[in-house]
């Protein structure tokens, strides 16, 4: 039997096509969208304002396409890491991070990818793209979904390398027929794929976070092989052509490693590189990864680095570490699952 097609992840235009194929009136597309993105039903049979005949016809070819997490780990600080199985059979992680009146979900966009030296996800190798349904299911089937205030595309994978599906997901999250979220509630993180970056900036109003990690090209390439193809200076030059002084925010991610990227020379080069660009710097503590010979910068060193940057006009913050008592680093839980490790 042919696999059924997921309705989850379809835009309003795509749902109109489905309605037309079934012989349903065009307004049925909005009805389906409301059941999916408003009421978040688990089955087509729950779409009770669609006739029984049309629900039967829909069920013959389509399914909602949602699936609950297959595993999870809960931290003492409230952070929860969930493991989802994709439609293609891979595993991806989602991290739920409550913080006072905010609750952020860190979602994945690919299974594996960029092979950054300090990231466990890249060490899995590339297994495939997530569909828009796979991406949205991480929100749709989240046990805490009603508490969410923000979504960050900072989980497994490179969002701009799966841009069609990421843009489809962000459209649904922000459209009036979908979740109707403000783009200010969504941040997309990237190593900086130039072609995808330009398209994202032109087509989306969501916040942007660029993984920087070292301002010197040769040193950045040792941490992030993508530097060899998509140079940081070229990325910054592109960013200077866009306006980040209003609602859209630009930030840079900077994981700090002792003796690798935390010296005064690195701080001064960051100031030179980003001079005049409206942005902020997020300094990140390194979560140890098996087999990686890097050590995180001390707390004192991070504070000194932060204060130097902020004192010279580059506003910088240190991201709070969460989930340290579980598989906190991105890719650890899914790697364990794939290797058959008891969780």
Residue 107 domain boundaries: 73-338
Number of domains the chain contains: 2
pTM (2 d.p.): 0.90
| Residue 10 and residue 139 in one domain | no
User: Residue 115: which residues within 8 A CB-CB, separation 6 or more?
Assistant: 122, 123, 225
Distances (CA, A) of 7 to 16, 57, 302: 11, 13, 46
Which of 2-16, 114-128, 318-332 shows the lowest per-residue confidence on average (mean pLDDT)? 114-128
* Pair 44, 131 in one domain: no
Band of the pLDDT at 42, cuts 50, 70, 90?
very high
Token readout for 297 is 């910068």
Instruction: Please report whether residue 68 resides in a domain.
Output: no
* CATH, residue 308: 3.20.20.70
Same domain, 57 and 81: no
Do 312 and 186 sit in the same domain of this protein?
A: yes
Average pLDDT over residues 76-84: 95
Given this model, what pLDDT does residue 292 score? 85
Q: What is the DSSP letter of 247?
A: S
Q: How far is the C-alpha of 34 from the C-alpha of 37, rounded, in Å?
A: 5
Same domain, 166 and 22: no
User: Once rounded to an integer, what is the mean pLDDT over residues 59-79?
Assistant: 96
Which residues are catalytically annotated?
A: 93, 330
On whether both 41 and 80 belong to a single domain, the answer is no
Does the pLDDT at position 282 exceed 80? Answer: yes
Q: How confident is the model at residue 128 (pLDDT cuts 50, 70, 90)?
A: confident
pLDDT for the residue numbered 290: 78
Tell whether 178 is covered by a domain: yes
Asked if residue 303 and residue 218 are part of one domain, the reply reads: yes
Domain identity same for 216 and 291: yes
């Amino acid at each position: 039997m042919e696999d059924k097609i997921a309705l989850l992840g379809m835009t309003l235009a795509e749902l109109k096509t489905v309605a037309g194929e079934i012989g349903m009136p065009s307004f049925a597309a909005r009805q389906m969208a409301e059941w999916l993105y408003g009421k978040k039903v688990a089955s087509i049979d729950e779409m009770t304002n669609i006739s029984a005949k049309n629900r039967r016809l829909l069920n013959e070819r389509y399914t909602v396409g949602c699936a609950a997490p297959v595993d999870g780990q809960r931290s003492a600080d409230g952070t929860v890491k969930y493991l989802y199985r994709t439609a293609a059979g891979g595993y991806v992680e989602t991290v739920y991070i409550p913080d006072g009146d905010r609750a952020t979900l860190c979602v994945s966009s690919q299974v594996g990818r960029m092979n950054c030296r300090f990231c466990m996800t890249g060490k899995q190798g590339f297994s495939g793209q997530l569909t828009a349904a796979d991406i949205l299911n991480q929100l749709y089937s989240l046990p805490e979904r009603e508490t969410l205030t923000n979504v960050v595309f900072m989980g497994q994978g490179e969002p701009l390398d799966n841009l069609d599906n990421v843009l489809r997901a962000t459209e649904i999250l922000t459209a009036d027929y979908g979740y109707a979220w403000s783009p200010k509630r969504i941040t997309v993180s990237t190593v900086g794929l130039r072609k995808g970056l330009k398209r994202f900036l032109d087509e989306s109003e969501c916040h942007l976070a660029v993984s920087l990690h070292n301002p010197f090209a040769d040193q950045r390439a040792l941490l992030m092989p993508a530097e060899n193809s998509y140079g940081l200076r070229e990325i910054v030059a592109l960013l200077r052509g866009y306006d980040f002084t209003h609602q859209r925010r630009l930030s840079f991610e900077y994981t700090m490693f002792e003796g690798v990227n935390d010296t005064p020379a690195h701080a001064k080069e960051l100031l030179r590189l980003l001079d005049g660009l409206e942005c902020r710097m997020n300094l990140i503590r390194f979560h140890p990864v098996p087999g990686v010979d890097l050590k995180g910068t001390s707390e004192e060193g991070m504070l000194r680095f932060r204060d130097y940057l902020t004192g010279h006009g580059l506003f910088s913050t240190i991201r709070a570490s969460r989930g340290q008592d579980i598989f906190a680093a991105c890719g650890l839980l899914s790697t364990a699952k794939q290797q058959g490790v008891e969780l």
